Amino acid sequence: MDLQGLMQAGQANRKARDFRAAADCFRRVLDAAPDHLQALQGLADACRGLRDYEACLAAWDRYLALRPEDGSVQARVGDACRRTGRRERAVAHYEAALRHDPRNRYALMGLGDLHHKAHRPDEALAAWERLLELDPTLLNIRTMAGNLCRRRLDFERAAHHFRTVLKAEPDNAYALFGLADALRGLGRFEEAAPFWDEVLRADPGNRQVLTRAGDCFCRLGQLAKAEDLFNRALAQGYDRCAQLGLARVQVRRGEYRAAIDRYETILARNPEDPRAVLLKGQVLGEWRGREEALAYLEAERARHPGLREIAGALSRLQADAPGTGGQAGQAAF
């Protein structure tokens, strides 16, 4: 049997994407030479092209039994395991690949994706940031890394990732939103404002954009602009964040009764919304005095004993009583 000729035919068929013919050639080689490494590689690749991942893994397993130190193949086996839902095995193969070559980009990319989909953000971020050290130009990976940092409230790190993306792609909508929101998280509202304006131009109807941009402009004292953004969000249907935002606008204008009505709208839908309960108590304190706030919060604690936040607010408010050396006000909340 002409094994070299069969190998050449198999490689040619694989390059022509005739994976079925290629697999047949490689199997014929392996019938004659079961430990033929190149044929095992070719068969695995052909089966992957056919999306027959079980046969692909079987070929790779035979290959790794002969050459377990091959890091590039470990990464490819990790990919096949990931595609077939064998997550733990995929992790083991990716980590084996990285032990042989810590700079294996395919293993780092696959490992990051695997952890991300398994809701393990710390592990995903660690893999992706190692990958970005090797190739800083992977903008989609950098954007995802920025989002993971933002969700972990690591806003400085998130902002770094988003700024790096925007240097290469100034109109990248995901990075613009991410940077605006990271700066908002850092309390750098003036710096965030122009980025929110850009995001609003690109996506003027996005409710999350409208409410977060509204929050930024409200904190900057641009109350009319903030009010418009919150109302645009509410025009699409009930939105808790927009209601909270409009209440904040009304408090800053001294419209306490209107703000209380906003909180009551939220509480009508969810009587145990701790943020709405505490903010309503805070506004009552500013509007009608500390005793009114205390009475409201005591009643809410009796009605909802599971809301631990109320007990904390009451404790702080009571500590601010006249003669205790404290000062009544927002600090109690």
φ, ψ (nearest 5 deg) of residue 291: -65, -40
Buried b (16+ CB within 10 A) or exposed e, 212-250: bbbbbbbbeebeebbbebbebbbeeeebebbbbbbbbbb
Distance CA 59, CA 62 (A): 5
pLDDT of residue 325: 42
Q: How many CB atoms within 10 Å of residue 289?
A: 11
Residue 113 falls within a domain, yes or no? no
pLDDT of residue 328: 40
Residue 49 falls within a domain, yes or no? yes
Residue 327 falls within a domain, yes or no? no
Residue 228 falls within a domain, yes or no? no
State the residue range of the domain holding 59: 1-67
Residue 51 falls within a domain, yes or no? yes
**Assigned token pair, 161:** 């990732």
Residue 41 falls within a domain, yes or no? yes
CATH number of residue 40's parent domain: 1.25.40.10
pLDDT of residue 294: 92
Residue 35 falls within a domain, yes or no? yes
Q: What is the pTM of this model?
A: 0.83
Q: Does residue 286 sit in helix, strand or coil?
A: helix
pLDDT of residue 315: 81
pLDDT of residue 327: 42
Classify residue 268 as exposed, middle or buried by CB count within 10 Å of its CB (0-12, 13-18, 19+).
exposed
DSSP letters spanning 72-117: HHHHHHHHHHHHTT-HHHHHHHHHHHHHH-TT-HHHHHHHHHHHHH
Tally of domains within the chain: 1
Q: Answer whether 317's CB lies under 8 Å from 294's CB.
A: yes
User: Per-residue pLDDT for the chain (333 aa), expressed as one digit of tens each?
Assistant: 688 999 999 999 999 999 999 999 999 999 999 999 999 999 999 999 999 989 999 999 999 999 988 998 999 999 889 888 899 999 999 999 999 999 999 999 999 999 999 999 999 999 999 999 999 999 999 999 999 999 999 999 999 999 999 999 999 999 999 999 999 999 999 999 999 999 999 999 999 999 999 999 999 999 999 999 999 999 999 999 999 999 999 999 999 999 999 999 999 999 999 999 999 999 999 999 999 999 999 999 999 888 888 888 888 877 665 544 444 444 344
Residue 236 falls within a domain, yes or no? no
